[in-house]
Amino acid sequence: MAITKTILVGVSDIFFYTKIRDAFRPQGYTLERVRKQEDVVGLLSKMEPMALIVNMNDDRLDATQILETVRSDSQAQHLPVLAFANHEEVQAWKEAKRLGINKIVSRNEFSARTLALLEEMIGASNGSAL
């Protein structure tokens, strides 16, 4: 499978998802929404996304389960993951690090620098800038 400019997005808040989509679409990215672990399994069987974005504090989404699924998939275990969490949610930050997330930032930083953060992370994981 060839890598596409597809990003998996684990965010259940439709307004925040729309903000993310609006940041990426003009740059040629396609987003696939992840609502639960089964979505990840199905999407990974059909495509090879270039990254995953996940909200570690989403109470309608089990981010830990989604990340464990990705990290246990032999083809996706090295998928770059950009996570965001409320800065005061220390446990979410610890969990992100335990799961091998490439980059975790505060929700405010993610909102302010959505596209730049992803492109920095992808460039770093590929050993080059986009």
User: Both tokens of residue 53?
Assistant: 């974005």
Residue 54: count of CB within 10 angstroms of its CB: 27
Kindly indicate the confidence band of residue 115, based on its pLDDT and cuts at 50, 70 and 90: very high
11-36 pLDDT, tens digit each = 999 998 999 999 999 999 999 999 88
The mean predicted confidence, pLDDT, of the chain is 88
Token pair belonging to 107: 């929700």
Q: What integer pLDDT is reported at residue 113 of this predicted model? A: 94
For residue 73, what are the contacts with CB-CB under 8 A and spacing of at least 6? Answer: 41, 44
Q: Is the dihedral of CA 25, 29, 30, 31 positive or negative?
A: negative
Query: Given pLDDT bands bounded at 50, 70 and 90, which one contains residue 130?
Result: very low
C-alpha 110/C-alpha 118 separation (Å) is 9
Straight-line distance from the first to the last Cα atom of the chain, in angstroms, rounded to the nearest whole number: 20
Q: Which domains does the chain have, with CATH numbers?
A: 6-125 (3.40.50.2300)
* pLDDT 10s digits, 70-97: 988 888 888 999 999 988 888 888 988 8
The answer to whether the pTM exceeds 0.75 is yes
Ranges of beta strands (E only) in the chain are: 6-10, 30-33, 51-55, 81-85, 103-106
Determine contact, residues 49/8, Cβ cutoff 8 Å. Answer: yes
- pLDDT tens column, 44-57: 889 889 999 999 99
